Structure formats: C-alpha cells, structure tokens
A and B are shown apart, each in its own frame.
Chain A
C-alpha cells in the first residue's frame, strides 16, 4: 500500500529513508512517503540520492536509478574528517553516471538543500544571473574592496574625503598617501587598479 508519487508541493521520500535524522531538518516544504526510484524526489524531474559517505552501498542504488530524472543529485553528508578518498571515489562514479554531487556538512545543511531544491523547482535563475541592484554605498564598497588591501573603513575615508568614483580615479598617489591608514602598498594597489593599462603591448 505505498502511495504513488504525487506532483504537489511536497518532497516525496522513499520509505527506506524512514528514521533518517535529516527528515527532521527539512523545513519550509512538506514531506510525503512514496514509491520512488531515488531517496528523495524534489521535483518532477529531480531526484536525490542520500549518502553518508559509504560509497560501497551507492553502486546498486545508482544502478536502480537507471536513466530516470533529468537532474540527478547525490547528496553526501560529510561529517568525518577522513573524507578525501570517499569523495574522490564518488566524484568519479557520479561523473560517469551523470550525477551531480552536493556535499553537506551538517544535517541542517542537508535538510536545507532538500527543501530548497523543492522550493526552487520553478524558480527562474535571476538570483544568480544578474547582480541585485543595491544602494550606492554598498556598490561603492563592493567596487573598491575588490582591490586587495582596501577595507570598508578605507572606502569610507575615500568616499568622504575624496568624493565620487571618478574623483578617486584621478586622485594622485601622494594625495592618497595623506589619508589616514593609507600606506605605500595600499596606495600602489589602488593606483595599479585605476591607472595601469588593461592590456600589455600584445
């Protein structure tokens, strides 16, 4: 009497996952048990296998998966310090079988991944596509702190004592040197970023 998988807003959980502590950590989307190929089905075309770093067991699961699902995820809970070999092994297997590995370090994180996969099922990729429009000050901060050695205090000083981005661009080095906390190295970095040509002769 296992329920056939529905296509609602719930994550479908394979009964074999009963008792997995990660279930406790799935927040923000509902869960229901159902007869599915993967351990979790988090979307019409997305299936997740769950693993706690024991690669031996995963082979048969992958085999059972066949070619089902468009996006096949292997969610690995990495809570041991000797992880390198296991992850190496898994990476190889998964690449061959068209599976994407996601590593989580805590149960909460794993739960978060599961629920987010479900929640984002129909989400357009705008979040990662464009820069989110922010206010002037933080844009200025992001821009200037991209130069090594420049911190937010420095940005504040530059902004209040020099002015706009273009003003900063044309400020000579010795003037920058007079600002508190601006040493040779920092000023050189700033000048390199603004004034050195983008490309060499070739």
Chain B
C-alpha cells in the first residue's frame, strides 16, 4: 500500500480530530483519496456511523476497494444507491460503520427519519466545490445541524478552479456547510514543496505534427477565433478579457460565456447560441485531431456535417454554423480526407492543386514501394482510391521511446537485485480511454522494421477497410429506407420523379451547400481566391465528391459482408485484464488518466518507466508523490508533446489557472469575515406557530394544535433545489411518493413543477396534458408552476427568435399575413401550447416564478389561511397498486422509455413493472411488446426499436 509522505501526515494530524469540522482544499494529484481512506480507516468502527456523501459510484467503489486493502473489510464501506430498498437502508444505518450514500437519498432519509440523524458520528463530504446555497449539500448540512450539533462534518475538494461563484466563493461554501476552519494545501505549500522538492526531471519528446495535421490545427484555431470574434461582435456586453482563444481550449469556457450571457440569454439570438455551441464543437475537434487516427477524425467530421446540414425534420437547416462556411473549414474537411486517401485519376487530370501534395510525392513513392508492387493488394481498394493512411506522429515516438527503454532495461539489469522494488513494466498514460485503446492497437500491430510514419500501416489499413465498409453500409441503409418508404407512399405525390432517392437528394443538397459556401468565400475573400484558378478547382472539388459517391456505390456487396465493422472493431480491448498473466518484464500497460485511482495503479504496478503520451498536470504531481514514496526506484518519465499545438498551451494554462485559483482562495481566506453561524431556529418557531393558530381561528375552527406549516413533496423533486429552499423558509418538507402532482400545499391545492426544458419536453411528449388531467380530476386547485433558474433570464426563450426572423423576412416591407402567422406559430410554439392548455383546463392556474426563491415566497403566500395537507391522503390520490417510485427509480431509463414512439405514460409504468431494463425491453419479441403496450403502439414501438438492425432480427 502506498506510504504516507510527511505532508500527508501533517494534514491528517490537523484534520483527524472527530470533534472538529473543517474544509480541506488540496491540489489535485497530491493524494486526496489516500488521505480520505486513511481517515475512514481511523473512524471505522460499528460504534460510529460515518456517512460519505457526494462520492460518485466509481469513486465510492474505488474507495471501498482501497479500504479493503487497508484492512477495513468487514463490513468496510457500504454503498447505498437507488437500488437498495428502504428497509435495507434502515437496517444498514442502525448497524453503523462506514456508509456511502447519494445526496438525494440521504436528504430523504433524514427527512423521513429513516436515518437517526442525531446518532450520526460524522459526515465526510466530497466535491465541496459544488456547494452553493441551492445545492443539495447545503440542505444536508442544514438538516444535519438541526438535529445533530456534536457530529463532525469534514468537506473535501481538489478542484479549486471551480470555486468561483460570486464575490467570495469560499465564504459561501463555509457558510452553507456551517464550517469555520479551512485548510489549503496547494503544490506550493511549504510542507508540500519541502517533501516533494524540485525534482522534476522529465524526458520531453517534442514532435512535429504532420503537415496536414498542422494545417488542420491552424484552421481549427482560426475557426475558433473567427467564431469568438463573431461572438464578441454580436454581444457587445461580453467581458472581452476572458474570451481568448487559449481559454477556449477549456471546457469551463462554455460556462464563462454562459455566465456572462445568462442574464440576457433571452435577448441573444439563436445565432449567438449557435456560436457558443460551435466553440465546444471546435474544441472537441482539436482534441480529436491530436488523439484520433485519420479515419476516426474523418468519420467524426462527416457525422458533424450530417448532423449540421439537416434540421430535425430532415430538411436543410436554416442556421448553419458560420465556421462551416469559412475557407478554414474547407481546409479542415479537405485535409482531413487527404490524410486518409486520395482519388487518383482526378488528381492526375487536374492542375497540381495543393502544393502539399507535391511535397508529399516522395512520401507517396515510399508508400508505394513499401507495398512492394503488390498490385494484388492495391486492388483491394475500390477503383481509383489511393490510400494515404497518415499516422499519428506520436506513434513512432512511442516506438522509439520503448526501444530506448528496452536498452535502458538491459543496461540496468546487471545492477538490479531481485529484492529491489519496482517492475520493468512500462506504463503509458493517455488522455482518454479511446486514445489508450488506439495506442494499444497500434502497439499490438506494430511493424518495427518499417520506417517512421509507416509502422502502423497494418492498423491503418484495417481502419480504412472498416471505414469503407461503414460507408457502404450507410449507403445500403439509405437504399433500404428508400424501398421502405416508397412502398408506403404513392409515387406520384410530387412532380419530381420519385426514383431520385432521398439519400441522393440530400447528397445533392449537401453538394450544393458546399459549392455555395465556396462561392461565398470566393466573393468575400478575393485575395485568397486569386492564387489559383478557382473555376477549375471548384469543378474539380465537386467532381471529387461525386467520385466518392461512385466509389462507395461501386463497393461490391461482398465487401460489405466481409468487413462487418462490428466484427472488425472488437479487438482485444481487455488488454488491461491480461497483464497479470504475462511476464511483467515484457509488459506495456496503456491506461487513460483518471482520478485518484491512478495513485493506486502506480503503487501496485511500481513501474520504473512511465510514458506520458499527453501532458497532464495531475499525473505529473502523482509521479512526484510516487517518486518520493519510492526512493531508489529511479523512475524514468517520458513526456510526449506536439510542437506548437494546443496541448502545450493547454497544459501551461492549466498550471496557471490552478495556481491563480489557489492564490485567490488563500487571499480570500486571509480577509474573510468568518460567518457567524446563527443557531437555526427549529421549524416550529414562534412566528410560524402564531400564523398557524390565527389560520385556525379565521377558519372558525377551535382545535388549536400547534401544527407546523408543511408541504408534501414528491420524492423525485429532491433533485431540484426547491425543497431545500422551502425547508430553509421554515416550512416542514414531507417526502412522499406522489402519483398526482409534485407538491401538495393544502388539502386541495396541488402543484406540478416544470423547469423550462421540462416544460418543452413534457409538452412534446403529451405528459403535461395527462398530468393536468390528473390534477384537475383530483384537486380543486390544480397549479402549473413554471420555474426559471436563479439569475437566468426570466422569459420564454422562443420570444427572441421571432425578432431575428422578422428581420430576415423584411416584415415591414411586404405583408404576407399568412406567412407571418405560420412563422409566429412556429416561433411562439410554447406559448401556443400554453394557450391550448389553459383552454382545455380552465381550472389550471399558472405560477410564473423567476427562481426557486420566488417560488418559496409564493408557496408561503398560498399556504397562508389554509389547512395543512395530509401526507397519507396525498399519497393515496390517484395511486394504483404500483411499485415504489422516488429514489428507487432509474430516472434516466424512465425518461428514455418515454421518448419511444408508441409508449404512453401508462405504457411506461407497465413496462417498468414487467421488464427489468431498457435493454431487456429491446430484446422482447413483437408479440411480447404488443402484450404490454397494446397492438398498435406495440407494433410502432417494435418497428422503431428494430429499424436498421444490423444482426438478423428475431423472427416475428
């Protein structure tokens, strides 16, 4: 097991005391998990009840495992999630020990009293960076402190960058968790840097990207800055400082933009929204370029075009991403294809189009030579296709590094004794599982004798085959679609000859769009166009795409059968599990960076050689800790880096951002006004009591039982922040499984809460109709609550779209009432549906609430002068003999079922009672589905689920 370093011990010394509560902020990679496990081990005892909150299921599993290694086995850390029943949970809590529970279940259990809150010894809370006044963590802290003043609450986080909300973010967290102490341990903390020292010896390999990659890289960055400029131009109120291309490399950039735009989000047009989402697409492209092989990249691009040129209805889209129209985008698409293959005779027939091709001519020759005149092999590809099969430059560098490591091993062999720690296993770390997989495939099929850049040829050829097969399959599928639909439709519905397949039409459209975009560029940027004879180039390009089509069409059916991609791609992915069986001397393990479990990997494998395939801040730290805790191992670290790429910039920015975050937090801690933790008055405080009594008097009733105001809340609602705020406002929150409505305020007042996205989706699915129907049937005052998020723009988003529309259609010049009307109808979609809803259910009232806070205030208003609701009655309303809902339900799966055609709200419940999971549902025969859903819907659903099946579907 990994040893504790001096600073680990120092930290533990400070925080282990079970009588204190505190927040620990630590830099990533310094071993937070190690500390946590140690703490849990210290506290482990059946007399204690320790709750671990906010650990994801993977984290909890990993922590449990590590605890097992530490010796806490019986019973160790137990996990509570939606799969464990209420009775099980109660038993578990009673027995004590270490328990990891999701925050939603924890809240419900505290409210219902299933968990003896006053007996909890302490809570360990992970991911403290997520805490804000409306988060479930804050609710937990409040509920906990209400009944338990002596237990501890220790919060942990290793994500200082995320603590940014508001002016004094740290204070907010401290206040919400009711903590007074905070420990901050950045990498530059004295104790940490004393322990780790400044040993950062890393062998860095810088690689140049290939010419094509470089061009694409430049083009993507160019697209990003164009998009950014566009974004700035259309939104002058944006704070320009934060919007730089290097910031755009990060995921958090979206959040920055969103935060700046949030208050005016309803005023920004769909264009801006498009731009924001474009940025994240481009960012993804950038990573894919550096980590994926040429074919996957090409495939992604194609899917991107496919998804962006069609709208939901399958027609050409109105709002195309602006970057797709730029010349830079054209460069991306052209070069990406050229990394895979070229089309031969066209290249010869045309004037030498790209200079790049010239320069690569000798490389081509080399490739041809490599094939050794194997004309037989060449004929494997369709006529005219010339494979280029560009490899990732890092591949050959990895090969080189492995070579060097092998030599090094030989050299060291003599000096090592068997008792020395460490293994000769080489650990290669990559940024994602996908790139780890790719590297594995490459290493599995490496041809060491080949020259640089061609060592992975076998793999690339395979990829090309599966790529072509995929294209063929797509084609085949489209053809099938055609035959299906033409059978149903009468062929003379429109003037056009119906033989033109839908697929071809779309292709035509795409091609038109492409040509159109090219024309626009030519008009817009004459300088760029003047360099070569554009007319020729243009016809050539469109010819190329036609050529593609022809090639794909020419793929023999046989080929389609031969290269079933499903079969091709099931390569040995479980390399990981096999390493135990192999002699460790020869093993190379490829893994993706993950969280603190990387520490475990390091300490288990004890590698002497580590290759970092991509730079990673956390892992660098882990290596430092690892080296320090394994002195005398002589760990050798290689780092691979693309020159002038976003990788480098990303890494540096990463370092800077973390440092800045820590400095900011330390500064804040220095000047922080310690929140005075007011002892929360219990829910039945005087104020409320008086109101309750007077209510009774006004009602003319005599029994003045001091009943606290309460609201019955559906279990499912605990995912939102409203119950927490209601509780904070002094209203007693009673969790229950409700069939009708989400909140019951009074005996005859029932509320269905909808956030805006919820509203849209439940209008579309028809669920809202059913819910309003149910509420109207059972309650005197059915209420629809439309709730916006705090600080988000308070308006229905569609409102804006009509303006941009109006501009484009020149509303003021020509008057086409009909056109306007339909436009308005489609843009005011939600509004129209709301109108229809109110007309259908005249008794349903609507509450428009700008935030959960506003809702809370309105709920209190509505409850005043009314009787308190009865939980048992509310549960009984509309309930059938039905399984438990609430935290015991897999919501994602439920949601997924609901979107399937033929599945009604009733159907969802039937399915969930009869079948275990969505997957099982998909395996049902047509007959079984019809039994559950009814004949027609069952048929619809079956056909949807099995359409475009690759394997032979179950016989009907």
Contacts and interface: CB of A to CB of B under 8 A. Distances in A.
A7 interface: no
B919 A195 contact: yes
A198 B916 contact: yes
A127 B84 contact: no
A71 B839 CA distance: 7
A102 B850 contact: no
A146 B765 CA distance: 12
A134 B313 contact: yes
Contacts of B901: 131, 133, 139
Contacts of B836: 120, 123, 125, 127-128
B750 to A, nearest CB: 13
A202 B833 CA distance: 38
B709 to A, nearest CB: 16
Interface in B816-847: 817, 820-821, 824, 828, 831-840, 842-847
Contact of B434 (A127, A128, A180): A180
A143 B861 contact: no
Interface stretch (A10-18, A33-41, A54-62, A164-172): A164-172
A2 B951 CA distance: 74
Name the prevailing secondary structure of the B interface residues. helix
Contacts of A193: 890, 892-893, 895-896, 918
B915 interface: yes
Interface string B762-773: 011110110000
Given A175-B569, A195-B917, A167 B888 contact: no
A138 B312 contact: yes
Contact of B883 (A146, A164, A199): A199
B802 A201 contact: no
Contacts of A199: 883-884, 888-890, 912
Contact of A120 (B570, B832, B888, B916): B832
B214 interface: no
A103 interface: yes
Contacts of B281: 153
Given A101-B846, A139-B944, A88 B835 contact: no
A200 B288 contact: no
Contacts of A68: none
Interface in A159-200: 159-167, 169-170, 174-175, 177-184, 189, 192-200
Contacts of B486: none
B549 interface: no
Contacts of A164: 945-950
A94 B844 CA distance: 12
A91 B847 contact: yes
Nearest to B81: A200
A94 B845 contact: yes
Given A27-B820, A131-B901, A201-B84, A116 B835 contact: yes
Interface in B287-313: 288, 292, 296-297, 299-300, 303-304, 306-307, 310, 312-313
B367 to A, nearest CB: 25
Contacts of B477: 160
Contacts of A84: 850, 854, 857
B799 interface: yes
Nearest to B954: A166
A192 to B, nearest CB: 6
A106 B799 contact: yes
B921 to A, nearest CB: 8
B241 interface: no
Interface stretch (B85-93, B403-411, B636-644): B85-93
Contacts of A181: 284, 288, 300
A155 interface: yes
A87 B854 contact: yes
A161 B845 contact: no
Given A157-B303, A196-B917, A128 B893 contact: no
A190 to B, nearest CB: 9
Contacts of B84: 200-202
B432 interface: yes
A127 to B, nearest CB: 6
B708 interface: no
B839 A117 contact: yes
Contacts of A138: 312-314
A118 to B, nearest CB: 10
Contacts of B946: 164-166
Contact of A141 (B312, B888, B890, B892): B312
A185 to B, nearest CB: 10
Contact of B893 (A123, A137, A157, A198): A198
B300 A200 contact: no
15 contacts: A84-B854, A99-B845, A105-B266, A117-B839, A125-B836, A153-B304, A159-B948, A164-B949, A165-B922, A165-B944, A169-B945, A180-B296, A180-B300, A196-B893, A197-B916
Interface of B: 81-88, 266, 281, 284, 288, 292, 296-297, 299-300, 303-304, 306-307, 310, 312-314, 432-434, 437, 470, 473-474, 477, 481, 565-566, 569-570, 573-574, 592, 594, 761, 763-766, 768-769, 781, 783, 794-796, 799, 802, 817, 820-821, 824, 828, 831-840, 842-850, 854, 857-858, 861-862, 883-884, 888-890, 892-896, 898-901, 911-912, 915-919, 922-923, 944-951, 953
Given A199-B889, A202-B87, 17 more contacts: A87-B849, A91-B847, A100-B844, A102-B846, A116-B832, A137-B310, A143-B896, A146-B896, A153-B304, A153-B307, A164-B949, A166-B949, A177-B433, A180-B299, A195-B919, A200-B81, A202-B85
